[in-house]
A and B are shown apart, each in its own frame.
Chain A
Amino acid sequence: MQQPKCSHCGNARCKHGAPSVHVLDVAGWEIHKQQFVCEAIAQQLGILPQKQQLELSLPPDVLANLLGDLKPGTAAPATGDPTRPRPQETICTGCRLTLGAFKMRGRVGCPRCYETFRPQLVPLLERVHDATAHRGRFPGRPARIAPDPVDLTELRTRLQTAIAQERYEEAARLRDSLKKLSGGLEPDRDDGSGAS
């Protein structure tokens, strides 16, 4: 990754150190805006709690900020039933978690959530891990004999873009390679949208 510049002081390295907090303004499927700030600025903006130590699991409020709701105080209040959707809101069929509740808590509710909230999760994974696909071991098999790491996510993202831009020939080709690479594990899908 290229060293980003701090969105507030414009330096790749300011007196607080290198900018280490990536703030994404995500709405629906699109990243509207992204900025990098250093930790001290992030604390001033209320994105990071004051004097926060490096946490291994990001606290839910930091994740919520990475997932959207840039300005402090604009997040929906943390009350009510997390499984009761607002009209037309994305909801996981596995656990009934709503997109809003996921953004607020930064925790998913079941394995299927990874599929349901893919559009929000992929940029988050990219940011946190600098990767979007597993390259470690498979259950019962050590990594060294696992199949060649296949970046299904990347293919799927390209497929979605191709469909959105009505490039159908490319989409068909991508869908074929997806099917081949996932060894038939990939379910047939009409529109490539992961959300239900």
Chain B
Amino acid sequence: MSQLPSIPSDLTLGEWLRADGPDSDIALCTRVRFARNLLGYRFASLLDAEESRDLTAYLVQQVGQLGMQEPLRVLDLMSMSELDRELLVERHLISRELAAAERPRAAAHDEPERVALMLNEEDHLRSQVFRSGFRVEEAYAAAEALDDKLISALPIAFSEEFGFLTSCPTNVGTGLRLSVMLHLPGLVWAEEMEKAANTCQKIHLAVRGMYGEGSRALGDFYQVSNQVTLGRSESSLVDDVRVAVAQLIAWERRVRLALLAGERRPRTLDRVWRALGTLQSARILSSEECLNGLSAIRFGVQQGLLPDLSAQDLNRLLLLTQPAHLQRLHGKSLEAAERDALRASLVRGALAGRGQGAL
């Protein structure tokens, strides 16, 4: 992708798009999050500005002394520009809610973006660990080790009866949210995604789109997470997600093969090449059209149809075509129409000449 403008060092791929973990053709990333609160401070919904400032300052100080293997970069979200906060959201390091809040708050992450902490979010402290690909156990073990450090450094609110106490009762108990981000174009194209999502919901797993708002999942990217946090051990929650996601991945692979066999093959190939053609020549690309096109091309790459493109190339485009990343690349803020034009030229440059001679 030599056609891309030079990428600022803080716009590298980050752990979750590194595309090097197991099953990373389908599972982009595994994330483990713990919600924790401190004794001595009211919970977020009642904190006034002064308490918020005290709490954030205290957390920043403590987090700075955790003695992590990779040093943490602490970010004061109050003094950051909206664009820079948005950049962190697009990199999945902080939540949209934390970016948009107006109270004193902070975030911290390590350089490889495998660890990210949110300070004064809906809970006082939310720690997150990321591993690229489908690595539930490894991610959980790392998150638990980090949580142990936090628990020994901070007065964490815990009750023997209800477990770790959270601001919202839907997170109480383990405070654990384990998510796997999945690219499931096969299930969507074969119209089996709804069935898959219903199956997950029956075993208390939530399935939601990774991009966009409303009920549609743009670009066929989904996030599967545990919904229940109370009354189960962490290991059984982890197992639930691991088993269900392994089945989803196997299901997706089966459907992909079926889509590329027999009568369905021409239609599937048409879909991939049509998307490539559009993205290679479009002058204006909305987020939505871009994501949907990249999804089809990513499918083609993973199924070996486009040998001169790699999963990393596609992941990089997924990240860089997000609004804040585009503006960061451009060096200034852009209107929506300008973004659509810049997005088109970025994608065109990256895909120029690809897909030649294949099949």
Contacts and interface: CB of A to CB of B under 8 A. Distances in A.
Interface of A: 17-18, 20, 51, 53-54, 56-58, 63, 82-83, 94-95, 97, 105-111, 113-114, 121, 124-125, 128-140, 142-144, 150, 152-153, 182, 185
Given A94-B42, A111-B37, A143-B235, 15 more contacts: A53-B209, A56-B208, A83-B46, A106-B168, A108-B168, A109-B42, A109-B45, A114-B165, A125-B172, A134-B162, A134-B172, A136-B234, A137-B234, A139-B156, A185-B160
Chain A binding surface SS class? loop
Given A53-B214, A53-B215, A129-B173, A82 B231 contact: no
Contacts of B208: 53-54, 56
Interface string B130-163: 0000000000000010001001100011111111
Interface residues of B, number: 53
B174 A136 contact: yes
B174 A137 contact: yes
25 contacts: A18-B202, A54-B201, A56-B177, A107-B43, A107-B168, A111-B37, A113-B43, A114-B162, A114-B165, A121-B169, A125-B172, A128-B170, A129-B228, A131-B173, A131-B231, A133-B161, A134-B160, A134-B163, A134-B230, A134-B231, A135-B231, A135-B232, A135-B233, A136-B174, A143-B234
B312 interface: no
Interface string B198-221: 100110101111000111000000
Interface of B: 37, 39, 42-46, 122, 144, 148, 151-152, 156-165, 167-174, 176-177, 198, 201-202, 204, 206-209, 213-215, 225, 227-235
Nearest to A97: B46
Contact of A182 (B144, B160, B171): B160
A109 B45 CA distance: 7
A130 B57 CA distance: 37
Contacts of A57: 122, 168, 170-171
Given A53-B208, A56-B206, A134 B174 contact: yes
A111 B160 contact: no
Nearest to B177: A56
Contacts of B45: 105, 107, 109
Contacts of A131: 173, 228, 230-232
